[in-house]
Amino acid sequence: NTLNLSGDNYIARGYYERLLSILDVEREKYGVVLPQIRDDHADIVDIYMKASNNLGVTLSRIASATGNSSLNAKSIVCLQESLRAWDAMTRNQTTMIRLDGSNLAEQNIKYITRPVSGYEPEIYTEIPRLLNGEEGLE
């Protein structure tokens, strides 16, 4: 997140892509992910939601700087993945009704598809530094 906030978009892109690939491996271990029932699943989905949003914002910033429209398209795909994860965490499994409100990815998609002056896509800053079972450097 520090990389993204300091404008190191290319390095931040690599970080988020790597984090998402690690989370994809974790998701595959579980098969069906049930974030509303299991806390460990909810943690993975929450981090996935934030990392997908942040990668989408990062790709959007790179696309704006370079004029690369394919990166802009990829950014929207990442933001949609974030929305999908948010939906999995907030939809009532019995009634299939989603809770009121929106998440950051939804706002970012609105900005990217209909730019409004004064709004810049935002990232989640709460992604943990270590994943489950990892040990930090001392």
pLDDT tens digit sequence for 68-124 = 999 999 999 999 999 999 988 887 667 666 666 678 898 888 888 887 666 677 888
Report pLDDT digits (tens) over 40-76.
Answer: 888 999 999 999 999 999 999 999 999 999 999 999 9
Q: Are 25 and 81 in contact (CB under 8 A)?
A: no
pLDDT at 51: 95
- Give residues with Cβ within 8 angstroms of 117, minimum separation 6: none
Q: How far is CA 71 from its chain centroid? A: 16
Position with higher pLDDT, 36 vs 46: 46
User: CA angle, 111 as apex, 105 and 63 as ends, to 5°?
Assistant: 90
Position with higher pLDDT, 117 vs 138: 117
